[in-house]
Amino acid sequence: MNLSASIDIDRPSEEVFDYVKDVGHDVEWRTGVVEASVTSDGEPGVGSTGFDRIDNKGRKMVSEWKVVEWVPGSHFRWDLTSGPIKGIGGYICEPAGDRTRFTLEANVTPRGWFRLLGPIFGMIGRRQNQSDVAKLKQILEGSEASG
């Protein structure tokens, strides 16, 4: 199911990319993310691995991921390799003049008890991701982003 969300951010795409490529910033704008980190060595890129630790209203989970596509200044995508949700996600920064069209990509298949929620999971996920990209916009337009 597609839970992707997009928003226009009044910042250059390179600045938005520099902020979101540091997955540690996810705790600032992603709902429920209490820790996010890269677990592999070296510069980020294809093959990099990491995790997100989530506490969403008392439901705790960890999702691990592996970067499968990396285009500096533009986008990166990852496969979710463990956790209650399988699929692919990504952060996409498309230049639009001095602005950026940012997309939080999420094409996922819920597993376990999440699968039982079906359409409700999709509705909640889309709403949450739209809220998250709005928060990212507020952060990046409200102050200078740091890399």
Q: Is residue 55 part of a domain?
A: yes
pTM of the model: 0.88
CB 45 within 8 A of CB 67: yes
Question: Strand pairing partners for 102?
Answer: 7, 93
The pLDDT score that the predictor gives to residue 108 is: 87
The CATH number that applies at residue 100 is 3.30.530.20
Tens-place pLDDT, residues 31-43:
999 999 999 999 8
User: How many of the other CB atoms lie within 10 Å of CB of 24?
Assistant: 12
Q: What are phi and psi of 18, to 5 degrees?
A: -60, -35
- Residue 40: both structure tokens together: 């592999």
* Placement of tokens 């950026």 in the chain: 100
Closest CA relative to residue 59, chosen from 92, 36, 34, 90: 34
Q: Is residue 147 part of a domain?
A: no
Q: What are the start-end ranges of the H helices in the chain?
A: 13-20, 26-29, 113-117, 119-142
Q: Is residue 93 part of a domain?
A: yes
Tens-place pLDDT, residues 100-133:
999 999 998 877 666 666 677 678 888 999 999 9
Report the domain count for the chain: 1
Alpha-carbon gap, residue 28 to 20, rounded angstroms: 10
| Residue ranges making up the domain that contains 122 | 5-142
